[in-house]
Amino acid sequence: MRAKSTRRRLGQAALVLAAVTTASIITVPPAFADASCDRGEYCIYEDAGFTGDVYTTAGYLANYGNIRMTTSDWHGIGALLNNSTSSWINNGYTGAYSRVRVYREPNNVGEMWSGVPGQTSSYVGNGNNDDASSHRWTN
Ligand SMILES: [Ca+2]
């Protein structure tokens, strides 16, 4: 009786595992899903000219920390977002909280640049390159 019960539980566990495995095959990995610079997003590029690894977000980010960018090629993991921004696009919506402000330090300390919707920078300049650590949306 006990052995049968254990076997049934193992069988159920195998079914759950199979379902999870199937789901992860069907689901598009977030690393790839997040690569496009969609409407409403602030889009960060590792290199000048909107190239290299990418990070796109419609949200605030008070500390880039250990967040990884989306890799731009087929191998490896993305570059660290922190201290990597070299070019950017504000693809946000106009209206309230449409201006993105970018900071040298976490928690919005030391503003380096800001941009309204539609504004882009193909290179942030030598003084600001690879130095951004947080951003937020403001009016
Ligand atoms: Ca960079």
pLDDT at 1: 47
**What is the pLDDT, as a whole number, of residue 73?**
78
Residue 9, pLDDT above cutoff 80 = no
Distances in whole angstroms, Cα of residue 5 to Cα of each of 1, 9, 12, 17, 61: 6, 6, 11, 18, 49
Distance from the alpha carbon of residue 117 to the mean position of ligand 1, in angstroms: 22
The whole-number pLDDT of residue 5 equals 52
130 φ/ψ sector (left φ>0, alpha ψ -120 to 50, else beta): left
Mean per-residue pLDDT, 65-69 = 95
> What pLDDT, on the 0 to 100 scale, is given for residue 74?
73
Taking ligand 1, which is a single-atom ion, which protein residues have CB atoms under 5 Å away?
46, 84, 86, 130
Query: What's the rounded Cα separation, in Å, for the pair 63 and 108?
Result: 8
Q: State pLDDT tens for residues 11-57.
A: 554 444 444 444 444 444 444 446 899 999 999 999 999 999 999 99
Instruction: Please give the model's pTM, rounded to 2 decimal places.
Output: 0.76
- The predicted-structure confidence for 81-99, as pLDDT tens digits, reads as follows 999 999 999 999 999 999 9
Residues 6+ apart with CB under 8 A from 50: 43, 87, 89, 120, 122
Does the pLDDT of residue 119 top 90, yes or no? yes
Q: Which two tokens stand for residue 40?
A: 């409403």
Strands 41-47 and 120-121: unpaired
Point out the least confidently predicted range of 30-44, 50-64, 69-83, 121-135: 30-44
pLDDT tier, 104 (very low <50, low <70, confident <90, very high otherwise): very high
pLDDT, residue 29, reads: 45
Cα gap 33→27, rounded to integer Å: 10
Using the mean position of ligand 1's atoms as its centre, give its distance from the Cα of residue 2 in Å.
Answer: 60
The two structure tokens encoding residue 76: 């490896």
